[in-house]
A = this chain, B = another copy of it.
Amino acid sequence: MIVNCTKDELLLNINIVSKAVASKTTRPILECILITADSDGVRLTANNLELAIETGNINAEIIEKGSVAPEAKMFMEIIRNLPENKVSIETDDKNSVIIKSGKSEFKIFALPGKDFPELPSVEKNFKYETSHTTLKNMIKKTIFAAAVDESRPILTGELLEIKESYFNIVAIDGFRVAFRSEKMKNHNENISVVVPSKTLHEVSRILSDKDDEAVFMYFTDNHALFETKDFTMVSRLLEGEFFKYENSFIDEYNTAVEVNRQELLSSIERATLIVKDMRKSPVEISIKDKMMVITSNTDVGTSYEEVYVEFEGDELDIGFNPKYLIDALKAIDDDKIRIHFMSNLSPCIIKGIESDNYKYLILPLRLVG
C-alpha cells in the first residue's frame, strides 16, 4: 500500500474513528486503526466489537492499493507531530507502516489489514432520520441516569424508542428516570432497542453540536447503525426487557412549584459543598410561604439557602440525593421549570412549563430525625 494524504485530513478522520478503538483488550488488533486503500478509495476503520466506526472516503491519492492496521495511539501521535502537512504512508513486506513527512521518517510495526474484524452487516430495512445536534443532545441530557453498576445489565444501556411520530431516549438507574422526546421527520415501524451507554457516550462525542446535518438510523435485532455523510457507526444492542418507564410518570400531585432553574441549581450546588457522601447525606427541601428552603447538615457544618418559588398545594419537607437533582437541573435548558411532588416518600417529577420534550423523575431519600 502507498497513499499520499495530508496531516489535517488524517487527523480529522483518526479523531472520528478513535472513539471506537479498544483501550484494554487481549486482542491487540482491536487497539489498531485499519487503513484501507481499495478501488472505492481510502478509509479508516476502528472496531472494539461493541462499537465500530468507518469513515467515508478520505481525500487521498492511492499509488498502490492495500491495507494495514497500525496501533491507534502511536499512529495518531506520529501524525499529529509530523513537521509538514504532506504525508506519505506506505507498507513494506513485513507489514511495517512507513510514514514520511518533510525530513522525518517513521517505520512502525503494524498488523495485517486482513486480520481486522469486519463491520457487522446491518440490513437497511427501515430508515429513520434525525440530526447531529438532536441525537447528541438527547444522549447527553439523559445518559447520566443510566445505571453504572452491572447488577441489572439492561439498565446500563439507554432505551431508544420510536413510537408513533416520536423518538424517545430513556435512562433509568433504579433511583431516577431521565426522558427526552423529539418529533420525527418520517415515521416507519415502531422500534424499541437498548444501546450500551458506553457506546452512546462515544457516539455523542463524535456527533457535532453545531451541525444540523442528517443522521440516518437503521435497526436490526442485534445492531443499531448511525450513518452521516462522513462516517458510519454500528453499535451492538443489549438483550433483555427494559423497565416500563411510562407508568412512573403519573400526572397527579399534591404539591407543585415553578422555580427558576439556575437559582435552584446554584442553591443545591452550594448546599452540597459541605456534603461528603451524597448518597448518605440528603439535602433537605422545605416548601412553604412561596419559598423553597434548602438545608444540609453534616459533620462539617450546616448550610441554609432560600429560593423564591410559585407554589400550589400542600407544604412539604423532602430529602434528596443532591447529585440527582443537580444532574437533572443541569440537563435542562429552560429558565423556569415545574416540579411535582406527591409526598416525601414518593418521587418528584421535573418537567417543562411549556415544552413536554423532557421529564426527569427522582426518588427521595428518607430524612433522618
Binding site for B on A (CB under 8 A): 71, 74, 77-78, 81-83, 96, 103-109, 266-267, 269-270, 273-274, 300-307
Contacts and interface: CB of A to CB of B under 8 A. Distances in A.
A284 to B, nearest CB: 15
Given A81-B269, A81-B273, A83-B266, A303 B104 contact: yes
Contacts of A74: 273-274, 300
28 contacts: A71-B300, A74-B273, A74-B274, A74-B300, A77-B273, A78-B273, A78-B274, A81-B266, A81-B270, A81-B273, A82-B270, A83-B266, A83-B270, A96-B301, A103-B305, A103-B306, A104-B270, A104-B305, A105-B303, A106-B302, A106-B303, A107-B301, A107-B302, A107-B303, A108-B300, A108-B301, A109-B300, A109-B301
Contacts of A77: 273
A106 to B, nearest CB: 5
Nearest to A270: B81
Contacts of A266: 81, 83
Contacts of A103: 305-307
A252 B327 CA distance: 66
A217 to B, nearest CB: 38
Contact of A267 (B104, B274, B300): B104
| Centre residue among A273, A301, A304 by max chain B CB count within 10 A | A301
A304 B105 contact: yes
Contacts of A267: 83, 104
A160 to B, nearest CB: 37
Contacts of A105: 303-305
Nearest to A97: B301
A77 B300 CA distance: 13
Interface centre among A106, A300, A307 (most CB of B within 10 A): A106
Nearest to A308: B103
A83 B268 CA distance: 12
A228 B270 CA distance: 34
A305 B105 CA distance: 7
The 10 A-B residue pairs with the shortest CB-CB distance, nearest first, are: A108-B301, A103-B306, A105-B304, A107-B302, A107-B301, A106-B303, A81-B270, A77-B273, A104-B305, A78-B273
Contacts of A71: 300
A104 B269 CA distance: 12
Contacts of A270: 78, 81-83, 104, 106
Given A300-B74, A301-B96, A274 B106 contact: yes
A77 B81 CA distance: 39
Nearest to A80: B273
Nearest to A81: B270
Given A81-B269, A269-B81, A274 B104 contact: no
A270 B74 CA distance: 11
Contacts of A273: 74, 77-78, 81, 106
A293 to B, nearest CB: 10
A207 B368 CA distance: 48
A104 B305 CA distance: 5
